[in-house]
Each structure stands twice: as structure tokens, then as C-alpha cells.
A = this chain, B = another copy of it.
Amino acid sequence: MPKEKSVLIGFLKKNKMKMTSQRDKILDFFLKWEKHLSPDEMYYELKKLYPRIGRATVYRTLKLLTKANIASQVELGDGASRFEHKYNHPHHYHLICSRCGKLIEFVSDKIDALKKNISKKHSFLPNNVRFEIFGLCKKCQKYRN
């Protein structure tokens, strides 16, 4: 059993919520999938495997996983939100290629320092930071557009 599943079960217990086969399947799928899927994409993939699954359940479960610290939501600048693994993954930021959509992850303690400094200066209590660099990845720089 993956650790994330224990985490989920613990979280559910703590909140008087129930483990269901749908939640199990969605978590499973989420963990197997390497890259960032939007909820709708996940819904269509899951629908292939389990035709009776509902869109709302997928959305709800992804929110749930986010609350349980198993997933985290990222905005990549296209219309949809996306989810990535969070449990045991270091907090990171993204370089986003505007041409091919490629994501490069990086970590930076400078960003965290910046967050603290700037917030302090403005009596602001920071929660989370968004830092994304949009541009062209190595491959896409070769093309005009």
C-alpha cells in the first residue's frame, strides 16, 4: 500500500469521512500518472477504466487530495488547473514553455527568503507563493514561433 493511501485514510478518519472505491481508484490513477493532468483530462482517462465514474467525483476527490497534502494544484496559464504530487516531493517552482508546454521544475530557497522579506515589509502574513517563468525551452528556441 503506498504511503499516500495511508495518509488519505488517516485524513478521512480524522474528518469523519469515508473511504470509497472511487477515492481509491482516483488516488491510484493520480499516483501512477507521472505528469500534470487537468481534472477533466483525468476524468476522461478514468472514464475509460471505470465508465460509471462521475466528473464531480473526480473534481471533489482532487480537492480532497489537496487538503490531505497528497496533491497540489498548479496554474499553468492555460485555462485549466492541474494537479501534481505533493507528498514527499520538495516544494518547487516551474519554468513553462509557452510553445510546447514543457515544464521544468526547480527549487530555490531565495524565493522563500524573498517571500518572507517582502511580506514582513508590508505586514503581510504570507501563505503560499506563485512563481512561474514563462518563455521558450531549449528545443523551442530553434523555431521562429
A114, CB-defined interface residue at 8 Å: yes
Are A136 and B125 also in contact (CB < 8 A) when A108-B114, A114-B108, A118-B106 are?
Answer: yes
Q: Are A114 and B111 in contact (CB under 8 A)?
A: yes
Nearest-Cβ distance from residue A94 to partner chain B, whole angstroms: 10
Contact, CB under 8 Å: A129 / B132:
yes
Q: Please tell me if A137 contacts chain B, counting CB pairs below 8 Å.
A: yes
Chain B residues in 8 Å Cβ range of A33:
none
B122 x A128 contact (CB < 8 A) = no
A contact residues vs B (CB 8 Å cutoff) = 75, 77, 95, 97-98, 104, 106, 108, 110-111, 114-115, 118-119, 121-138, 141
| Closest B residue to A113 using CB positions | B110
Q: Which of B75, B77, B118 contacts A133 (CB 8 A)?
A: B118
> Do A95 and B110 have beta carbons less than 8 Å apart?
no
A138 is contacted by which of B98, B118, B124 (Cβ under 8 Å)?
Answer: B124
Complex interface: chain B residues within 8 A of A137 (CB): 123-124
Min CB–CB distance A105 → chain B (angstroms): 10
- Whether A119 touches B138, Cβ cut-off 8 Å, given contacts A104-B124, A114-B108, A124-B104, is no
**Distance of A6 Cα from B130 Cα, bound (Å):** 35
